[in-house]
Chains A and B, each alone.
Chain A
Amino acid sequence: MRRSRSSPILSAGVVVVSGPLLMFSAYLLFAGHNLPGGGFSGGLVAGVAVLLVWAAGGIDAVRRVLPIRSHVFMGAGLSLAALTGFASFVPGLAFLESGYIKLHPPLVGEIKIVSALFFDIGVYLVVVGMAVGLVKALGDEESAAEPEVVS
């Protein structure tokens, strides 16, 4: 059995906090074009959430919550950001020059979708990937070292 390292209070707290934390992170990402925030800070908040999960449950918990490898996050993010840049060529704009469309779904009112949002999502994914990658690399040894302690 794995030695329980963290306090139950911390574990419970993380469960409560991480939901709102991720919502805040998403808010920063989407609000960023007009209000303080953006993909970078949003990604950092999500990174903090990952760290909290690690603090509560160790590397195993991180792996359970996020079974995707950090490379995938970073690769997807970088590709998305670069593709957004190239997509600007289609309507004849310069690389990464942003265009936007306005949608009018019922009840919600006007929603403006800026192409830069997808670029920001790319940035977000890269930052999350960095946090996950570093936590997994640095937090790795703990659980692997365990068997010697227990047996």
Chain B
Amino acid sequence: MVIKHHPWMGGPSDAPAKTFPEGNAYTPRMLRIESVSKRFRSGNYGARDISFSVKGGVLGLLGPNGAGKTTLMQMIATVTKPTAGKIFFRDIDILANPDELRRRLGYLPQDFGVYDNLTAHEFLSYFAALKGVRGKAKIGEMLEMVNLHHVASRAVGGFSGGMKQRLGIAQALINDPDLVIVDEPTAGLDPEERVRFRNVLSDLGEGRLVILSTHIVSDVESIATEIAIMKEGSLVALSTPENLMRAAEGTVWEAVLPSEQFDQVRKTMNISGAVRKSDGVHARIVSNEQPVPQAVHAEPTLEDAFLFTMKGGVGGAQRAERVA
């Protein structure tokens, strides 16, 4: 499915202004992506005809595994080139002049590894040098920021997953970037570490653009100023969390279902959440029509909005069968 000018998208579209009123009309933005595609030699598309533009803040890139988030981020980070389309950073074509972005870029790839035998300080010094950053003070400052200063002289091979990720974010920020790209940074982290990491990213959004990819909605709902939803290599939505939730209004239902009925409903409906309690299963169902007689309307959450969008969104009209 190719949605080049979906109503939720910003960017240089022919008719973006008739969509949501807040901030989607084209204005000069930090990052502009025009009809970008990545086709691999196998013939498969990693990303397909993607267009959008964003200014500062935190852009949450949501989508299931294999949606093309990583490929899109790698193209923006100049790690791989698109097979079609253009990417502009502050109106500079970064495919023609990648260094213009690279000087202002911080990138934390998915499943970022470390060199086990280096200490945290040595590891960070290495990346600081690669990015042209001089001075030990900056390294100490970054280690302090990610709360690793007390283990600066320890080999990073012995670090926990969370500590390694924090070291990863420190290397991404060491050159004080304007654009920060973090790919699935919370994967494998425990809940406490996940919240801490989220807060760090939220603070980063001030005065720069942070692109954060995840397939977990809760990772972005509290920090993202805009959310892009990807599916099968295409961008299916781009808007603020509020607008996404507003679009899902009237399609989210809550119902308490007996266990057996829930099992049946689950097979035919889009369930965005369920909690088993003594009186039955408290389920949230995304559906254009009342899914079961006892269902009542509920306020959409971002999780609901995500599911709503993934299953076809406003115009998609995927009508679930009513279960008696």
Check if A and B associate.
Answer: no
The residues of B with any CB-CB pair to A shorter than 8 Å are none
The residues of A with any CB-CB pair to B shorter than 8 Å are none
